Amino acid sequence: MKLSILQENLAHGVTAVSRAVAAKAQLPVLANILLATEGGKLKLSATNLETGITVWLNAKVERAGKVTVPGRVFGELVTSLPQEAVELTVSEEKVQVKSGAYRATVNGISAEEFPEVPTLAGKKAAGELGLDGAALSEAVSLVAFAAGTDEARPIFTGVKMEFSKKGLRLAATDGYRLSVKSLPGSKIKGAGKEMVVPARALTELTKMLKDEEGEEVRLAATDKEKQLIMSLDGVEVVTRLLEGDFPDFDKIVPGSSKTKLELETEELHQAVRAAAIFARDSANIVKFKIEKDKLTVTANAPQVGENEIGVAIKKTGEDSEVAFNSRYLLEMLSAVTAERLGLELSGPLSPGMFRAAGDDSWLHIIMPVRVQG
Amino acid sequence: MNNESLWSAVRSELELNLSPGNFATWIAPLALLSLKESGGKSILTIACPSVFHKNQISERYLGQIAAVAEKALKKKCEIKLAVKQRAVKQKKGRRGSGEGEDLFSVDIAKMEREAYLEAAARVGLSAALTFKNFAVSGSNEVAHAAARTAAKSPGQVYRLVFVYGGVGVGKTHLMQAVGHEILAKNPDAAVVYCTGEEFTNEIIEAIRNKTTANFRHKYRQARVLLLDDVQFIGGKETVQEEFFHTFNAVHKEGGQVVLTSDRLPNEIAGLEDRLRSRFEGGLTVDIQPPGFELRTAILLIKAQQLNMELPMRVAQVVAANVESTRKLEGVLLRLSGEQVAKKEALTEELAMALLNKINGETVRLKSRVTATQVVRLVAEYYQLKTTDIRGERRLKTVALPRQVVMYLLRKELRLSLKEVGRVLGGRDHSTVLHGQEKVSRLLSESEDLRLDVINIRKQIYQNRGKV
- Report the half-sphere exposure of B336 (CA within 13 A, side-chain side): 17
- Which residues of chain A have a CB within 8 Å of the CB of B155? none
For residue B280, tell me if it sits in a domain.
yes
Residue B108 has a pLDDT of: 67
Mutate which of B50, B53, B99, B116 to test chain A, going by most A C-beta atoms within 10 A? B50
pLDDT digits (tens, 9 = 90+) for B163-205: 988 888 888 889 999 999 998 888 878 899 999 889 999 888 8
Q: Are residues B63 and B27 in the same domain?
A: yes
On whether the CB atoms of residues B197 and B232 are closer than 8 A, the answer is yes
Judge whether A175 is closer than 8 Å to chain B, CB to CB.
yes
Q: Choose among A115, A283, A347: nearest Cβ to B97.
A: A283
Judge whether A30 is closer than 8 Å to chain B, CB to CB.
yes
Say yes or no to pLDDT of B112 above 50.
Answer: yes
- Which residues of chain A have a CB within 8 Å of the CB of B187? 348-349
Q: Choose among A177, A248, A373: nearest Cβ to B190.
A: A373
Q: Are residues B191 and B265 in the same domain?
A: yes
Least confident of A294-308, B61-75, B349-363, B386-400: B349-363
Per-residue confidence band for B92, with pLDDT thresholds at 50, 70 and 90: very low
On whether the CB atoms of residues B212 and B167 are closer than 8 A, the answer is no
Residue A137 has a pLDDT of: 93
Q: Are residues B131 and B270 in the same domain?
A: yes
Judge whether A240 is closer than 8 Å to chain B, CB to CB.
yes
The domain that holds B189 is classified in CATH as 3.40.50.300
- Look up the domain containing B41 and give its range: 3-83
Q: Are residues B196 and B258 in the same domain?
A: yes
pLDDT digits (tens, 9 = 90+) for B54-65: 888 998 899 999
CATH 3.10.150.10 fits A254-366, yes or no: yes
Tell me B267's DSSP state: G
Q: Are residues B302 and B377 in the same domain?
A: no
A2-113 shares its CATH topology with A129-250: yes
Least confident of A58-72, B310-324, B348-362: B348-362
Mutate which of B18, B30, B48, B103 to test chain A, going by most A C-beta atoms within 10 A? B103
> How far apart are the C-alpha atoms of A368 and A349, rounded to whole Å?
6
CATH 3.10.150.10 fits A129-250, yes or no: yes
Cβ-defined contact of B54 to A225 (cutoff 8 Å): yes
Cβ-defined contact of B24 to A370 (cutoff 8 Å): no
Q: Are residues B79 and B122 in the same domain?
A: no
Per-residue confidence band for B467, with pLDDT thresholds at 50, 70 and 90: very low
Which residues of chain A are under the pLDDT cut of 50?
Answer: none
What region does A221 belong to: left with phi over 0, alpha with psi -120 to 50, or beta?
beta
pLDDT digits (tens, 9 = 90+) for A27-50: 889 999 999 999 899 999 999 988
> How far apart are the C-alpha atoms of B93 and A165, rounded to whole Å?
39
Residue B280 has a pLDDT of: 87
Q: Are residues B395 and B435 in the same domain?
A: yes
DSSP state string for B74-137: TSEEEEEEEE-PPPPPPPPS---TT----TTT--HHHHHHHHHHHHHHHHT--TT-SSTT----
Q: Are residues B119 and B221 in the same domain?
A: yes
Q: What are phi and psi of B56, to 5 degrees?
A: -65, -45
Say yes or no to pLDDT of B449 above 70.
Answer: yes
Residues 42 through 101 of chain A touching chain B, CB cutoff 8 Å: 47, 49-50, 52
Q: What is the mean pLDDT of residues B342-354?
A: 78
For chain B, percent of residues with pLDDT exceeding 90: 9
Q: Are residues B317 and B449 in the same domain?
A: no
Q: Are residues B282 and B298 in the same domain?
A: no
Say yes or no to pLDDT of B100 above 50.
Answer: no
Residue B94 has a pLDDT of: 42
For chain B, percent of residues with pLDDT exceeding 70: 92
Q: Are residues B229 and B169 in the same domain?
A: yes
Q: What is the mean pLDDT of residues B327-341?
A: 82
Higher pLDDT pick, B365 / B434: B434
For residue B95, tell me if it sits in a domain.
no
- Which residues of chain B have a CB within 8 Å of the CB of A353? none
Number of domains, chain B: 4
Judge whether B109 is closer than 8 Å to chain A, CB to CB.
no
- Which residues of chain B have a CB within 8 Å of the CB of A252? 103-104
The mean pLDDT value of chain B amounts to 84
Judge whether B28 is closer than 8 Å to chain A, CB to CB.
no
The domain that holds B302 is classified in CATH as 1.10.8
Q: Are residues B350 and B380 in the same domain?
A: no
The domain that holds B10 is classified in CATH as 3.30.300.180
On whether the CB atoms of residues B137 and B290 are closer than 8 A, the answer is yes
Per-residue confidence band for B268, with pLDDT thresholds at 50, 70 and 90: confident
Residue ranges per domain, chain A? 2-113, 129-250, 254-366
Last residue of a domain, one of B225, B256, B287: B287
Mutate which of A27, A151, A155 to test chain B, going by most B C-beta atoms within 10 A? A27
- Which residues of chain B have a CB within 8 Å of the CB of A366? 100
| CATH of region A2-113 | 3.10.150.10
